[in-house]
Amino acid sequence: MTATIETPPVATQAAKQCRRPSETRVPGQQRAVVVLLAPFAALCLGVFVVPAAYAIYLSVFSQLHSGLGFGNGRTVFVGLHNFVVVLTDPSFLRSIGVTLAYIVLFIPILVVGSLAFALLLDSGLARARQFAQTALFLPHAVPGIIAAIIWLYLYTPGISPVLALLYDLNIQVDLLGQTLLIPSMVNIALWGGLGYNTVIFYTALQAVPREVMEAAAVDGAGAVRTALRVKVPMVRASVVTVGMFTLVGTLQLFTEPMLLAQSTPLIGNRFTPNMYIFDAAFNRSNYGLASAASVLLLVLCCLLSYAVARYSSRGARA
């Protein structure tokens, strides 16, 4: 545990290299740095570094429960055993499958949808652009659990005006049934995220130089052609960044399925990886297993954020 907190020798070396004479050091700055940075550093240690290290530590131990209660079990070092158990557990693999199905549906619709709205808003043909942006963004201000409550009720027969309307048209759908469950969950996330990403893409599009568009127009490109062939490639970096951030976000899928689980038996206790962790820790008190699953997710997120960082810095240089 301590090894992670102490600065490794390589890092110290790098820090020394950092201190070049060209960087100005203000006399008396040390006190300011310590005072102003201390609260954040303490939080970083307490809320991020120590829990992450503790999760890694816990993941290589198993608790043998001899009796009741919390902390009474005997703790045994098991190496990578918990990781093997998680990775071969069918319910964990199923939760990964659910997440993948969700991602495959959600990310393309979100990215294409918000890019389309941004391009339409940017096309110069749209009226009331400010209003449309505010309206589209507004669902993002709605807390996730409340968005889930609203949509759950819109999916519930007897309460939902949408289902009543469809019923009048002789269409009966079970929005929380086997086929539509994941699309129904995607819709909740889409509702919250569409406007947010539209604003991001719209801002990126506004930064595309006017001359480029004029040149395209002179060359005889129509609005659609300009949008797809000229504008989209120029905001490619922000499209990729948004896609990656969304991907990391979907790995955390928890709030919506937890709420929907109250109304459909199809969502079990281990429906998504995060629900699996929650179930392992708080229903089964298997901290080793929960920690191993957490560490796996943590590593995945780190890899993805590394990819984002690599890609964004390359985009910035270009």
Q: What 3-state DSSP class applies to 27?
A: coil
Q: What is the 3-state secondary structure (H, E, C) of 261-305?
A: CCCCCCCCCCCCHHHHHHHHHHHCCCHHHHHHHHHHHHHHHHHHH
CB 102 within 8 A of CB 186: yes
Q: Are 148 and 256 in contact (CB under 8 A)?
A: yes
Contact (CB, 8 A) for 113 and 190: yes
Give min distance, CB of 292 to another protein, in A.
Answer: 11
Taking CB under 8 A as the criterion, which residues in 53-72 touch another protein? 54-55, 58, 70
Question: What is the closest distance, in whole angstroms, from the C-beta atom of residue 93 to another protein in the complex?
Answer: 19
- Residues 173-232 touching another protein, rule: CB under 8 A, are 191, 194-196, 199-200, 203-204, 207, 210, 213-214, 217, 222-223
Instruction: Map the footprint of another protein across residues 117-156, applying CB under 8 A.
Output: 117, 120-121, 123-127, 129, 131-132, 134-139, 141-146, 149-154
Answer for which of 14, 84, 104, 215 binds another protein (CB under 8 A) is 14
User: Per CB under 8 A, does 285 bind another protein?
Assistant: no
Q: How far apart are the first and last CA of the chain?
A: 40
Centroid of chain to Cα 188 = 14
Q: How far is the CB of 37 from another protein (least distance, A)?
A: 5
∠ at Cα 14 (10, 53), nearest 5°?
50
Interaction with another protein in 71-90: which residues (CB under 8 A)? none
Query: Can residue 234 be called a binding residue for another protein (CB under 8 A)?
Result: no
Tell me if 49 contacts another protein by CB under 8 A: yes
**Cβ atoms of residues 136 and 117 within 8 Å:** yes
> In the complex with another protein, which residue's Cβ is closer, 91 or 241?
241
Does residue 274 belong to the site contacting another protein (CB under 8 A)? yes
Residue 19 as a binder of another protein (CB under 8 A): the answer is yes
Select from 146, 98, 90, 116 the least CA-distant residue to 251.
98
Q: Which is nearer to another protein, 32 or 80 (CB)?
A: 32
- The C-alpha atoms of residue 281 and residue 285 are separated, in whole angstroms, by 5
Cβ closest to another protein, residue 96 vs residue 297: 297
Closer residue to another protein (CB): 49 or 101? 49
Site for another protein in 29-48 (CB under 8 A): 29-33, 35-37, 39-41, 43-44, 46-48
Cβ distance to another protein smaller for residue 64 or 207: 207
Nearer to another protein, 214 or 233 (CB): 214
Query: Cα(243)–Cα(236) distance, rounded to whole angstroms?
Result: 10
Q: Which is nearer to another protein, 77 or 131 (CB)?
A: 131
How far is 174 from 160, CA to CA, in rounded Å? 12
Q: Which residues pair with 36 in a beta bridge?
A: none
